[in-house]
Amino acid sequence: MKKTTTRLADGRELIYYDARDDAVRDAADRRPLEPVDTAAEIRHDRLLGDRVAIASHRQARPYHPPADACPLCPSRDGRLSEIPAADYDVAVFENRFPSLAGDSGRCEVVCFTPDHDASFADLTEDQAALVLAAWTDRTAELSRLPGVAQVFCFENRGAEIGVTLGHPHGQIYAYPFTTPRTARMLDSLAAHRAATGGRNLFDDVLAEERADGRRIVLSGEHWTAFVPYAAHWPYEVHLYPRRRVPDLTALDDAARTEFPQLYLELLRRFDRIFDEGNGRGKSTAGAARTPYIAAWHQAPVHAADRAEFALHLELFTIRRSPGKLKFLAGSESGMNVFINDVPPEAAAERLREVASE
């Protein structure tokens, strides 16, 4: 992998990740951009203990631009974009409309491919491996920034999720605090350790799922994908490395090599679960892609017990059946108590049914 770092016209950082060592990325950003002026602010909810990012400048961000005006496509044919090069493998840059900025953290955009009409599931294993390398490198770099407490790599896909740019991309948030969801995991981890004489909760959950088997979706030599026993979402899969590590930087070569194969298969199954009437494991031309969120959970940078945390990816969709979405209504939004209409065992069975042939 070759890494090339440069600057956009307004001073934001741009990093190219190329599979070929001889790739040259020297195109300058020729747009007349003013320096970025952000007003991101972190406020504390004293009742819940949560933190909320206030970012009014995001109201001006691009909203469903046409394909010929996509800011994530390469700059070519006289059209200038966020990526000055006429082509790229993977590109990462500071978000022009960040939710977190300055002392309040940092937000980056990760472009998976120059192909506007593709999705992550369309990538080759080599391309997916390069994205994993970019996620890993950014995790390492952002973790070293002063004030960064946690690094979160994720992808939102689909208008139903709220995605405003159709180009295949993800984001990375560098938070100046430990997120509430992770804090709850750490509390559960500590409580389990105390109650079991030092056992690790993540290890036990993974071992129990593998022993039970009913909710296993995919299993490789180094990764296991399963629908959790108490899944919140209609179709939700957790992907764990078999060897517990705290973050992406700690994965070994064997796990990195196997990851693209399993993850791409998992995403392709998500695209087939609502494609009714098709043959087993066969996608139908023109079938709607399943909206999803894919979220990497990594240990906080400075947590005292970060070695006890288990890196894992959570993949879920808000679609519960063809043409129907799972909305967060009164119980979920008002009280954070989820009600799932799809039994986890049934979801796992469906995801096994649509395996590639």
Mean pLDDT value across residues 65-89 = 93
Inter-residue contact 202 to 241 (CB < 8 Å): no
Rounded alpha-carbon distances, angstroms, from residue 51 to 45, 133, 136, 146, 177: 6, 30, 26, 19, 9
Are 14 and 59 in a shared domain?
yes
Are 152 and 194 in a shared domain?
no
Are 257 and 306 in a shared domain?
yes
Best CA proximity match to 83, nearest among 169, 155, 15: 15
Are 165 and 221 in a shared domain?
no
Mean pLDDT value across residues 276-299 = 70
**Total tally of structural domains belonging to the chain:** 2
**pLDDT tens digits for 305-327?**
999 999 999 999 999 999 899 99
For β-strands 235-241 and 312-317, DSSP reports them as antiparallel
111 is in an annotated binding site: no
44 is in an annotated binding site: no
Are 150 and 22 in a shared domain?
yes
Are 216 and 336 in a shared domain?
yes
pLDDT of residue 276 exceeding 80, the answer is no
238 is in an annotated binding site: no
Residue 338 has what pLDDT?
95
Rounded alpha-carbon distances, angstroms, from residue 354 to 276, 278, 279: 11, 10, 9
**pLDDT tens digits for 240-265?**
999 999 999 999 999 999 999 999 99
H or E element: which one contains 236? strand 235-241
Residue 267 has what pLDDT?
97
Are 188 and 307 in a shared domain?
yes
pTM of the model: 0.94
Last residue of a domain, one of 141, 175, 209: 175
Provide the domain limits for residue 144.
2-175
Are 229 and 295 in a shared domain?
yes
Inter-residue contact 323 to 189 (CB < 8 Å): no
Task: Name the average pLDDT for the chain.
Answer: 93
pLDDT of residue 229 exceeding 70, the answer is yes
Inter-residue contact 90 to 19 (CB < 8 Å): no
Q: How many CA atoms lie within 13 A of 103 on its CB side?
A: 3
Last residue of a domain, one of 175, 206, 237: 175
Rounded to whole angstroms, the Cα distance separating 101 from 35 reads: 14
Are 77 and 128 in a shared domain?
yes
Please identify every residue annotated as catalytic: 169
**pLDDT tens digits for 206-225?**
999 999 999 999 999 999 99
Residue 238 has what pLDDT?
98
167 is in an annotated binding site: yes
Low-confidence winner among 125-139, 175-189, 251-265, 268-282 (lowest mean pLDDT)? 268-282
Are 244 and 346 in a shared domain?
yes
Mean pLDDT value across residues 91-96 = 96
CATH number at 243 reads 3.30.428.10
**pLDDT tens digits for 97-153?**
899 988 889 999 999 999 999 999 999 999 999 999 999 999 999 999 999 999 999
- 79's CB contacts (< 8 A; 6+ apart) are 68, 69, 73
Residue 272 has what pLDDT?
96
Are 264 and 342 in a shared domain?
yes
